[in-house]
Amino acid sequence: GENVGLHLPTLSVQEGDNSIINCAYSNSASDYFIWYKQESGKGPQFIIDIRSNMDKRQGQRVTVLLNKTVKHLSLQIAATQPGDSAVYFCAEPSGNTGKLIFGQGTTLQVKP
Amino acid sequence: DAGVTQSPTHLIKTRGQQVTLRCSPKSGHDTVSWYQQALGQGPQFIFQYYEEEERQRGNFPDRFSGHQFPNYSSELNVNALWLGDSALYLCASSLAGQGEEKLFFGSGTQLSVL
């Protein structure tokens, strides 16, 4: 079955540095992934997504990389800011069911 | 344009009681999904409602039930509450056919079972 997981529960970075959050998945047939950001007291918020026909996708200060060979994806945040402090989840749809499978999340702490 | 709204924001119940949580989807959305998020975990899919019917269900017991109204709002009901039901319950809305990336989440209802 599907399974997505994150490598580190907590990541601490200095303000202004780049952050890299990792996620591994088990189903080689997975073809679509989404990154969500969850701030304290709020629900998850869509950041960026990527389909398996791409290796890289860029947004505003964020980049997602997909390595299908090792079934790994990463979220890179450039010039990390205090407002980036949150829990980050990778997620993938379960077939065409409308159900999302979430990883356990990585807490990003930004030090001033 | 209001986003997804959930009520109440916090709730305290005792074991064995029943609870009803409410969700109003984002304007223009017709599909509502419910997720349970335990402390320190990612959200777990409970079920999804579309056209007032349960369309998909996750691995949750029958104590968890729901309803969708003609105005697309939804309720989540949990009977015979256990201590383990303590969690953040998230509602997400979308427009059918728009894809999973178009899920919008509410801020959730924090349920504590004592």
Which one of B100, B102, B104, B107 would you mutate to disrupt binding with A, by most A Cβ within 10 Å of its Cβ? B100
Match 């009901």 to its residue by tokens: B77
If we measure between CA atoms, which residue out of B32, B2, B4, B36 comes closest to residue B19?
B36
Stretch (H or E) spanning B11: strand B10-13
% of chain B surpassing 70 pLDDT: 96
Residue A98: its pLDDT value, please?
A: 74
Q: How confident is residue A111, by pLDDT bands cut at 50, 70 and 90?
A: very high
What does the block give as tokens for A31? 């073809």
Q: What is the pLDDT of residues A20-62, one digit of tens each?
A: 999 999 888 888 999 999 999 999 999 999 999 999 999 999 9
Q: Which of A42, A89, A98 sits opposite B107 (nearest CB)?
A: A42
A13 touches chain B (CB under 8 A): no
For A42, which residue in chain B has the nearest alpha carbon? B107
Q: How far is CA A54 from CA A33, A57, A71, B72, in A?
A: 11, 7, 13, 35
If we measure between CA atoms, which residue out of A42, A67, A30 comes closest to residue B3?
A42
Q: Which of B33, B42, B106 sits opposite A104 (nearest CB)?
A: B42
User: Using CB atoms and an 8 Å cut-off, which of residues 38-67 of chain B contact chain A?
Assistant: 40-45, 48, 55-56, 58
Q: What is the spatial distance between Cα A55 and Cα B59, in angstroms, rounded to a whole number?
A: 32
Residue A21: its pLDDT value, please?
A: 96
Q: What is the pLDDT of residues B47-68, one digit of tens each?
A: 999 999 999 899 999 999 999 9
A99 touches chain B (CB under 8 A): yes
B95 touches chain A (CB under 8 A): no
CA distance B18 to chain A (A): 24
Residue B3: its pLDDT value, please?
A: 93
Q: What is the spatial distance between Cα B111 and Cα B10, in angstroms, rounded to a whole number?
A: 6
Q: How far is CA B42 from CA A14, A44, A105, B63, in A?
A: 25, 10, 6, 21
Residue A6: its pLDDT value, please?
A: 62
Cross-strand partners of B34? B47, B91
Q: How confident is residue A1, by pLDDT bands cut at 50, 70 and 90?
A: very low
Q: What is the spatial distance between Cα A72 and Cα B51, in angstroms, rounded to a whole number?
A: 37
CA atoms within 13 A on the CB side of A89: 22
What does the block give as tokens for A107? 């807490």
Q: Does residue A3 surpass a pLDDT of 90?
A: no
